[in-house]
Amino acid sequence: NAGVTQTPKFQVLKTGQSMTLQCAQDMNHNSMYWYRQDPGMGLRLIYYSASEGTTDKGEVPNGYNVSRLNKREFSLRLESAAPSQTSVYFCASSDISGRGRETQYFGPGTRLLVL
Amino acid sequence: GQSLEQPSEVTAVEGAIVQINCTYQTSGFYGLSWYQQHDGGAPTFLSYNALDGLEETGRFSSFLSRSDSYGYLLLQELQMKDSASYFCAHSPGNTGKLIFGQGTTLQVKP
């Protein structure tokens, strides 16, 4: 049981290049999320997927696209990377119980540097 | 808007008790979560308060007062390994997506 896995762990891009960050979970969770964390900051939600086949914007969606490939996988794409997108990206998953208690399980993160 | 305010840093000595506060201004508030993050690693869930009062989980306790829009995380018998960042968070409208505070860095000294 690996939990939430992310690839790659590190990436350096030049401005204007594109890339896709991959995320997979093996906990059979319905919901998945992408966050970014800048130095000294909390996590900010980029996009989320409440269930397979649905996606929705979070706080900071500009410059990103997502795909919920199946129940296990949720990818984040940068079409034209900018230095402002230098950050650590975390994927997370959870099951919405409807009782108001949310436990999100996070992956190890992808450290992205855009030059 | 949604905002959660935390102190940026707290320092305490090993064996002591420390309290990390979180005040919030939000709409659609359902409850307050706390997460721990070591050295930029994966955040991990610590506790959740849906109702006013104290929730205890081992050395960690969390408190919520809805009337004061305030909560705190209480860490007892501090250990060096508790040095980490601690984030409060809430899920507006119980949608599952989380809004995080900016985090409190706790440094435990010998």
pLDDT digit string, tens, across residues B68-83:
999 999 999 999 999 9
The three-state (H, E, C) secondary structure of A49-91, written as one string: ECCCCCCEECCCCCCEEEEECCCCEEEEEECCCCHHHCEEEEE
Asked if residue B81 lies in contact with residue B59, where contact means CB atoms within 8 angstroms, the answer is: no
β-pairing, B44-49 with B53-57? unpaired
pLDDT at B58 over 60: yes
Model pLDDT, residue B42:
95
Partnered with residue A40 across adjacent β-strands are none
Q: Select the highest-mean-pLDDT range: A48-52, B2-6, B63-67.
A: B63-67
Q: What is the mean pLDDT of chain A?
A: 92
Residues of A numbered 17-76 whose beta carbons fall under 8 angstroms of chain B's beta carbons: which are they? 31, 33, 37, 40-45, 48, 50, 58-59
Give yes or no for A105 touching B (CB within 8 A).
yes
Mean pLDDT of chain B: 92
Which of the residues A93, A94, A102 would you substitute to probe the B interface, choosing the one with the greatest number of B C-beta atoms within 10 Å? A102
Of B42, B94, B97, the CB nearest to A90: B42
pLDDT for residue A97 is more than 60: no
Q: What is the pLDDT of residues B27-50, one digit of tens each?
A: 778 889 999 999 989 999 999 998
pLDDT over 90 (residue B104): yes
To test the contact with chain A by mutation, choose from B33, B38, B98 the residue with the greatest count of A C-beta atoms within 10 A, namely: B98
Q: How far apart are CA B107 and CA B22, in angstroms?
A: 18
Q: What is the pLDDT of residues A12-61, one digit of tens each?
A: 999 999 999 999 999 999 999 999 999 878 899 999 998 888 999 999 99
Instruction: Say how far residue A24 (Cα) sits from the centre of its chain.
Output: 10
For A74, list phi and psi in degrees, rounded to 5: -145, 115
Inter-chain touch B91–A108, beta carbons under 8 Å: no
Asked if pLDDT for residue A98 goes beyond 90, the answer is no
